A and B are shown apart, each in its own frame.
Chain A
Amino acid sequence: MELRLQHLSRRYGTKSAVDDVSVNFVPGVYGLLGANGAGKTTLMRMISGILDASSGEIRLNGRTIQELGEKYYAHLGYIPQNFGFYPEFTAREFMLYMAAVKGLGRRRAKSRTETLLSMVNLQDAADKKIKSYSGGMKQRLGIAQAELNNPSILILDEPTAGLDPKERVRFRNLISDFAKEKIVILSTHIVSDVSYIADTILMMKNGRFLLNEPISTVTDDIRGKVWEVVVPEQKAAEYSARFSVVNLHHENNMVRLRMINEDVPAAGAVMVEPGVEDLFLYYFGEEAQEER
């Protein structure tokens, strides 16, 4: 299976939200990173077939989504950002309704509903109205509905936003379970979410891809540029102003700084193994710092 985006653009007036993006997706988990306004959500909406491209096309196994029509949507599972629910429905009713929207027959709808509610640990609350659910429960229900048709393309737009750390771990594990043999495109600006489960990292800025690399080699560009140094508290501010500081940790009266710099930033600085978060900061600099 191959999902191909060819010269895909989306303009709003004179502004390009997505600008001439081309990429091939094959089964695997893709972490789509970018600061707010980078064009991630617009791109995912176009892939989901709910927003028309201004130019370019999307092809699944060689055929455009317009040619495929309903057949394309049958391959899709989608959790949009700020996904709304029907508060007066129970989770079970919501799942059965979504199963009908996705074209599942009655028997399959029932069995998939029970299986998925069990997988996302909502079976005991299946007959409670969604209005009584917590944010985490709603997100789990969101992924369960996306999985109803066992989609071969799973699109997750900021699925962990607003979740506490425990829920986020749980959610990541669920996505990993569902991801086998699928194209999973996971958009987030929480870098740690993708660094655990993504096979490939895509970075977007100003509507374009800056980077498209396997997770195993994605940090190669900044290898040898990530440093840690322990400095007195009064020096920390000065270092923060001079260098790209990724992390800052107080230890007694000292501060441990993690920073990215081409050369040794200070005497005593130790070169460390780079992570995806370091890479994110390297590319997005102050934009990313503001979001964090």
Chain B
Amino acid sequence: MLIKYEFLKILRKRSTLIIMAVSLILTAFLFGLPAMQFQTYDQDKVIKGRAGIAHEKQQYLKVSVTLSEEYITETIRRVQKLFEDADNVGYDGNENFLIGDAYWEEIAPKEKLLNMIAKTYDSPNENSGYQKFTDLDISDGAGFYKAVESKIETLLDAPSRGLSDEQKEYWSDMARKVDIPLKYGYYQGWEMIITSFELLMFAVLSICIVIAPVFSGEYQAGTDAVLLSGKYGKTKLITAKVTASFLFAGIAFTLHVIVAWALPLTAFGTDGWDLPVQIANTAIPYPFTFLQTALISVGIVYLILSAMTGLTLLLSSKMRTPYLVLIVLAPVLFIPMVLTPTGTSGIYNLILFLLPYRAAMPEIGKYISYQFGGLVMDVFSVRAVLYAVLTGLTIPLARRGFKKHQVM
């Protein structure tokens, strides 16, 4: 009964409806924008919007294959052959590239795949594209999966990463769990989702704004005196307030997630959900599909939401007005947005990757890990533990804040 009324108290405010409406529209805009702006090309013209997406999907049908060593070797060989014919090759003063039908018929339909393969042979910080294939000796086969292994090893050994032997071992072990050969296919919708999780932080902020008055609003309105002098004012009422806040946060955020996922998945389709994330970047060590990565990432954002809800309730129980709560909360959520990582190691970067805004970014290809003695944890695990612990700490403190509140 109390939970129902506490929930109604949150929901009935006009400000709640306005904030949620604005936040949902903003989320729809941010997640719908890539679909609206999407464009691709064929030999004659630019193809925009739904037609462009349909065209690209059609192109991908030809490359929805298993990336066996033979397939990759053959793919590289075909590109090398194209380069052998001088009529196919252009030069921009810097590098050779394919032109005319050779490009539009052989490269353009699968350029993303070719670039992914080429990047595997690139050294770190190099991004040569399909032109790389001309440098490769494939007389004994492409050795693609060996190249993947070697690339990961090179990345892990890079001094700038500052990884310990235990951390390198952790990532190598994880990378070995990736199923090979990889299956390739169209995955645009999921890629869009996975690279945009931080945009959901606007939804988190909106939810925090709505629940900021849960305790402090009672102090501001002068209803604290009546509530705290009621039989359950210092016990069950607090539980009801916390439960209603989390219920609201969960429902409101799920609505945002539905909007955020529905738009790209409707526009680009759900294709690729079961494909491995390595087809976007072979150096990714996590043995996940796109759907698994999206679910784990959204799970982390739910935990961030949970901790931010707990923190909002804690501040709300301690501060006399909801405005003061927001003055403290907004910087916590958005200062990390303007801070840029300088690498993937060092205290500053390791902390930055855990702060709310950054923590919403999956960062699956950066080998970010934390070592506690002999224990190595990847960034997903540390974020999950951190935000679960924060939630666990803030809720009892918020309860105590309201229970001990003095009406003066």
A interface with B by C-beta (< 8 Å):
12, 45, 48-52, 70, 73-74, 76, 78-80, 82-86, 88-89, 93, 96-98, 100-103, 106, 109, 145, 149, 155
How close is B268's CB to chain A, nearest CB, in angstroms? 41
CB pair A51 B231 closer than 8 Å: no
CB pair A84 B231 closer than 8 Å: no
Among residues of A, the one whose C-beta sits closest to the C-beta of B11 is A88
Cross-interface CB contact of B8 among A93, A106, A109, cutoff 8 Å: A93
CB pair A48 B222 closer than 8 Å: no
* Nearest 5 Cβ contacts at the A-B interface: A84-B221, A84-B222, A80-B225, A101-B230, A88-B12
Whether A78 touches B226, Cβ cut-off 8 Å, given contacts A45-B407, A73-B233, A102-B232, is yes
CB pair B232 A51 closer than 8 Å: no
Cross-interface CB contact of A96 among B5, B229, B235, cutoff 8 Å: B5
Contacts of B230 in A (CB 8 A): 73, 76, 98, 101-103
CB pair A51 B408 closer than 8 Å: yes
A88 to B12, CA, bound (A): 6
B9 at the interface (CB under 8 A from A): yes
CB pair B222 A101 closer than 8 Å: no
Contacts of B408 in A (CB 8 A): 12, 45, 51
Most chain B Cβ neighbours within 10 Å, of A50, A78, A80, A155? A50
Listed A/B pairs (8) with beta-carbon separation below 8 Å = A12-B408, A48-B225, A50-B228, A78-B225, A80-B225, A88-B9, A96-B5, A103-B230
CB pair B222 A83 closer than 8 Å: yes
CB pair A83 B225 closer than 8 Å: yes
A102 to B237, CA, bound (A): 10
B223 at the interface (CB under 8 A from A): yes
A22 to B330, CA, bound (A): 48
Whether A86 touches B9, Cβ cut-off 8 Å, given contacts A73-B233, A98-B230, A103-B232, is yes
B227 at the interface (CB under 8 A from A): yes
How close is B7's CB to chain A, nearest CB, in angstroms? 11
Among residues of A, the one whose C-beta sits closest to the C-beta of B3 is A100
Among residues of A, the one whose C-beta sits closest to the C-beta of B219 is A84
Whether A50 touches B5, Cβ cut-off 8 Å, given contacts A70-B235, A74-B231, A98-B230, is no
How close is A44's CB to chain B, nearest CB, in angstroms? 9
B1 at the interface (CB under 8 A from A): yes
Cross-interface CB contact of A50 among B9, B220, B407, cutoff 8 Å: B407
B94 at the interface (CB under 8 A from A): no
Whether A51 touches B407, Cβ cut-off 8 Å, given contacts A73-B229, A76-B229, is yes
How close is A183's CB to chain B, nearest CB, in angstroms? 14
Binary interface profile of B, 199-240, with partner A (CB < 8 Å = 1, else 0)?
000000000000000000000111111111111111111000
How close is B353's CB to chain A, nearest CB, in angstroms? 41
Chain B, range 1-36, C-beta contacts under 8 Å to A: 1-2, 5, 8-9, 12-14
CB pair A51 B406 closer than 8 Å: yes
Contacts of B13 in A (CB 8 A): 88
Whether A49 touches B229, Cβ cut-off 8 Å, given contacts A89-B12, A97-B5, is yes
Contacts of B227 in A (CB 8 A): 101
A82 to B9, CA, bound (A): 20
Contacts of A49 in B (CB 8 A): 228-229
CB pair B226 A145 closer than 8 Å: yes
Contacts of A103 in B (CB 8 A): 230-232, 236
Cross-interface CB contact of A101 among B8, B231, B406, cutoff 8 Å: B231
A76 to B407, CA, bound (A): 16
Contacts of B237 in A (CB 8 A): 101
CB pair B225 A50 closer than 8 Å: yes
CB pair A80 B231 closer than 8 Å: no
